[in-house]
Structure 1
Amino acid sequence: MARRLRPVGLEFAESAPLRLVFAREVSASPETVYRALADDTADWPEWFSAVTLCRPTDGAEGGKGREVRLKGGTRFWETIVAAEAPQRYAYRVDESNTPGLRALLEEWHLTPAGTGTRVQWTFAADGPAALRLALKLGRPGLGRAFRDAVTALERRLAAANT
């Protein structure tokens, strides 16, 4: 059953009780990566293997949002809190069926790196101590999922340019 989470703003990416930050460089430009993240949301399952559905919706307070489903049955209803092409894309989770989760914000920060882009993903969460511990212990798996997703995205973007 879905539960409402605490609404948070961009500052939560810096102040959350749990922050997991991952980064990787890709050869695509920030503009190209940003389009894949923010504009081509329905394609996320093509490159982020944990995602089974990602579709645009109306977010909270009349903003733009997304519905996201993950393998294993986790669901998120999100509101986009930053869509600043080509450097930042962020969303908070408004509702989820994840037990114990109180607040979640994810931020993708894109910066030029040589001829490509440095992609940084911040996973900022709040919940009871047991959930925070589980997420900390799951950090290697989240990092692997991020690296695999960004690698697949890079391949996809390179194939689209050939």
Structure 2
Amino acid sequence: MARRLRPVELDFVVSAPVRLVFSADVSAAPEVVHRALAEDVENWPRWFRAVTAARPTGGGTGREVRLSGGTRFRETILAAESPERYAYRVDETNAPGLKALLEEWRLSPAGTGTRVQWTFAADGPAPLRLALRILRPGLGRAFRDAVRALDERLSEGAGPGAR
């Protein structure tokens, strides 16, 4: 059953009790990467292995996301500032323990490509906080694998709207 989380705003990305930050480079320009993140939501499962389904809601103001293992999220988009930032908070989830969750994708030029930085900002009881810190290496690996797959997809010309 879905539970409502505490609604947080963009400042939570710096004040959250748990902040996991990862970065990787891709060869595509920031504008192209931003389009893949913010406008091509339905194709996230093609490059982010943990995502099994994603769709925009509310005319693009929200998203519904399903992860492998059955975790579900209903999200509100807080920032879609091309080409620098894409951020969303989780409003409802069936994931146990979470009290608040916000994810931010920051994009910046890196040579002829883009540096992608993902911040996973969360709050929950002490056992959840500890678990997230323990899972940090796995989340980092999942992020790097996803960004590598996104880079390959974008290099093949499979941008927004491609199937």
Q: TM-score range by the shorter chain?
A: over 0.9
2:137 maps to a residue whose letter is: P
C-alpha distance in structure 2 between counterparts of 1:57 and 1:95, whole Å: 13
* Correspondence 1:76 to 2:70: no
**Normalization by structure 2: what TM-score?**
0.95
C-alpha distance in structure 2 between counterparts of 1:160 and 1:75, whole Å: 30
C-alpha distance in structure 1 between counterparts of 2:61 and 2:29, whole Å: 25
CA deviation profile, 1:36-79 (whole Å, cap 9, x unmatched): 000000000000000000100128xxx71000000000000000
Matched residue, 2:47: 47
Aligned pair count reads 158
C-alpha distance in structure 2 between counterparts of 1:51 and 1:64, whole Å: 19
* Correspondence 1:57 to 2:57: yes
Matched residue, 2:146: 149
Of 83, 88, 92, 2:85 maps to: 88
Structure 2: gaps (5+ residues): 159-163
Structure 1 segments of 4 or more deviating over 4 A?
A: none
- Indicate the RMSD between aligned Cα atoms, in angstroms: 1.1
C-alpha distance in structure 2 between counterparts of 1:11 and 1:139, whole Å: 22
**Normalization by structure 1: what TM-score?**
0.96
- TM-superposed deviation, 1:151: 0.1
C-alpha distance in structure 1 between counterparts of 2:39 and 2:49, whole Å: 18
CA deviation profile, 1:22-42 (whole Å, cap 9, x unmatched): 001111000000000000000
C-alpha distance in structure 1 between counterparts of 2:130 and 2:53, whole Å: 27
Of 95, 102, 115, 1:98 maps to: 95
* Correspondence 1:121 to 2:118: yes
C-alpha distance in structure 1 between counterparts of 2:91 and 2:128, whole Å: 18
* Correspondence 1:112 to 2:121: no
